[in-house]
Chain A
């Protein structure tokens, strides 16, 4: 926005984020090869969410944007979490709540 940082610092941040994203990709491939049970998903999604956060904050300039923009972005992901979270909650608990006969 209006307050541009020092150009050299901007470049440094871009390349640091770029390096972190590549390392994150390598990590997620390596982590997937190890059997961690349920934790495989947690690790994979954790790395993906971290990478997404780096892209949003630095490449998409949300860190330098107005609060309104940051709030809008957060709102989008919050609603996505509600969509997936509550739908999954229903499927995970359906059988125990309904006490399906014959099971």
Chain B
């Protein structure tokens, strides 16, 4: 047999000396496809992770529709709506930072990453205002906290079921917020590396994968907002 691999097709190894190309990949494109697929596999586990909570929500919502609707009235649709818009803006700036890498505008990558970080921080700030309001109105269940809403719809026998709603609200939005905090941390590292000129059109896998993560967190909120805030808004 003639050895067809030994000196290997050199044409396919044009970018062999690219500093970011790992030795176990044939090309930058193959490396990018692998990391994208790997990130999506991670996101599938995230879908199932949040999916379990969404399932719990669906079951208890089916069991206690009226108390869930009455509890939902205590969430602020305006803050929730503003936060939805803030997250959508942050998804746009995230996508634009990758676009900036594709057209080799290195400074623009940093600008859009910082914009994404600031929008993420704005979201968390508004979330904090909302949490403080819930604490003030005694709507936080568990942990020895005094769950005592002044709304008669959430008292007596309904109190237990209202606590279920607010438990789900805090667990789901809390986990979502934790994902945002992790995302902001990763974006901060990327902003520094981008500033040092690490990314351009030939290599931006970390931007792409972090973008996938950030957009996924946005999608989780796209479902959380109507399910938690808008439930029973027509009965207001």
Which residues of A come within 8 Å of B, CB atoms? 1-2, 4, 7, 10-11, 14-15, 18, 21-22, 25, 28-29, 32-36, 40, 44-45, 47-48, 51-52, 55-56, 58-61, 65-66, 68-69, 72-73, 75-77, 79-80, 83-84, 87-88, 91-92
What is the minimal beta-carbon distance from B193 to any residue of chain A, in angstroms?
A: 21
Chain A residue, CB-CB nearest to B214: A59
Which residues of B come within 8 Å of A, CB atoms? 29, 32-33, 36-37, 40-41, 43-44, 47-48, 51-52, 54-55, 58-59, 62-63, 77, 81, 84-85, 88-89, 91-92, 94-96, 99, 102-103, 208, 211-212, 215-216, 218-219, 222-223, 225-227, 230-231, 233-236
Contact: A7 with B102, CB < 8 Å? yes
Contact: B99 with A11, CB < 8 Å? yes
Say whether, besides A14-B95, A77-B47, A83-B48, A32 and B222 are in contact (CB < 8 Å).
no
Determine which of A25, A44, A52, A75 lies in contact with B84 in the assembled complex, contact meaning CB atoms within 8 Å: A25
Which A residues are in CB contact (< 8 Å) with B212? 60
Contact: B54 with A55, CB < 8 Å? no
Whole-angstrom distance between the alpha carbons of A1 and B28 in the complex?
11
Whole-angstrom distance between the alpha carbons of A71 and B20 in the complex?
28
Chain B residue, CB-CB nearest to A10: B99
Which A residues are in CB contact (< 8 Å) with B94? 59
Of all A-B residue pairs in the complex, the 8 with the closest CB atoms, nearest first, are A76-B44, A32-B230, A44-B226, A32-B233, A35-B234, A76-B47, A80-B51, A18-B92
What is the minimal beta-carbon distance from A79 to any residue of chain B, in angstroms?
A: 7
Determine which of A21, A28, A29, A60 lies in contact with B88 in the assembled complex, contact meaning CB atoms within 8 Å: A21
Contact: A32 with B226, CB < 8 Å? yes
Majority SS at the chain B contact face: helix
Which A residues are in CB contact (< 8 Å) with B211? 59-60
Contact: A55 with B215, CB < 8 Å? yes
Which A residues are in CB contact (< 8 Å) with B225? 25, 28, 48
Contact: A2 with B29, CB < 8 Å? yes
Whole-angstrom distance between the alpha carbons of A2 and B103 in the complex?
14
